[in-house]
Amino acid sequence: MYQFSFEKLNVWQKARTLTKKIYDLTSKFPKEEVFCLTNQLRRASISICSNLAEGSSRRSDKEQQHLYQISYSSLMELYNQLIISKDLGYISSDDLDEIRDDVQHISILHTRLRKSLVN
């Protein structure tokens, strides 16, 4: 089966796995957070993957860099929201630590991807 270029990106694969974790984690959030923090976390995680996919389809390095930067910004937004979720008692310290490891790994992959466009 044919694979699109973004499907071959290790960073996209890891971000996709992270999105699944976020959906699983937020399914346990209080119902009053459905349209607030739950929605924000899910949207940010989807934005990471979506902007990687869209960026991979762009012809110019400048356009790719822009979309990859948006994806990275969404990753940082996601992590910030997870810290707030922990502060509010919606997730445990262990949950935050586990996902922080994922965020850090994805961050490194993001940096490598963006640097590859500069060279």
Sequence ranges of the domains in the chain: 5-118
- pLDDT bin (cut points 50, 70, 90) of residue 119 is low
Q: Are the C-beta atoms of residues 75 and 59 closer than 8 Å to each other?
A: no
CATH architecture of 5-118: Up-down Bundle (1.20)
- Name the pTM for this structure: 0.95
Give me the sign of the Cα torsion angle 66, 68, 71, 77.
negative
Q: pLDDT digit string (tens) for 59-117?
A: 888 999 999 999 999 999 999 999 999 999 999 999 999 999 999 999 999 999 998 88
- pLDDT bin (cut points 50, 70, 90) of residue 11 is very high
Q: Are the C-beta atoms of residues 20 and 111 closer than 8 Å to each other?
A: no
Q: pLDDT digit string (tens) for 18-60?
A: 999 999 999 999 999 999 999 999 999 999 999 999 999 998 8
Polymer length of the chain: 119
Separation of alpha carbons 101 and 77, rounded Å: 15
- What is residue 61's predicted lDDT score, i.e. its pLDDT? 87
